[in-house]
Amino acid sequence: MQQIKTINDLQKLIQIEESTVLEYKGSFAKQNPRWKEELAKDISALANSNGGTIIFGIREKESEGGNSIPKELLPIPNTEMSKDKLSQLLLSNIQPKLNGWNHNIYHMTKKVVFMLFLYLAAILHIKIGFHMFIIKGEMPQ
């Protein structure tokens, strides 16, 4: 994927289809009562495959082939997510601790586009409620 440094660079992504290493989200979907678990599943799945990037603040549409392509930049309120909030979400919903991630935030008048970079994980588990689901790897001892 190309180097993203500015809002104009993000605008250029509008032509690039989602893939196994690139995913677009219009928001963090906080209106869903299970948004934290859903986000943890998405993050775990990407980290367990090849790693990749999730971009929050780009609305998507389906293409003729059924894949999602970005439709437009749709920045989210700058109060919706921060690195600290995301760190806490990852610590409380993914086990063992996910160390391989980073982020960038692109600011636009009281709104942001949030990019989450995930590196390939060796073994990653998701904790949802009282259940532990093993996404990849061997059974814990």
pLDDT in tens, 7-23: 788 888 787 888 888 88
- Contacts of residue 137, defined as CB under 8 A and 6 or more positions apart, other chains included, come to 122, 123, 124, 125
Q: Flag whether pLDDT at 140 surpasses 50.
A: no
Q: In the 3-class helix/strand/coil scheme, how is 60-88 assigned residue by residue?
A: EEECCCCCEEEEEECCEECCCCCHHHHHH
Q: If we measure between CA atoms, which residue out of 60, 50, 48, 49 comes closest to residue 24?
A: 60
Higher pLDDT, 38 or 66: 38
- The pLDDT of residue 125 is 58
Please give the single-letter amino acid code of residue 86: L
Q: Place 139 in a pLDDT band, splitting at 50, 70 and 90.
A: very low
Global pTM reads 0.80
Cβ neighbours for 113, distance < 8 A, ≥ 6 positions apart: 7, 10, 55, 56, 57, 58, 73, 75, 76, 105, 106
pLDDT tens for each residue of 43-67: 888 888 888 999 998 888 877 777 7
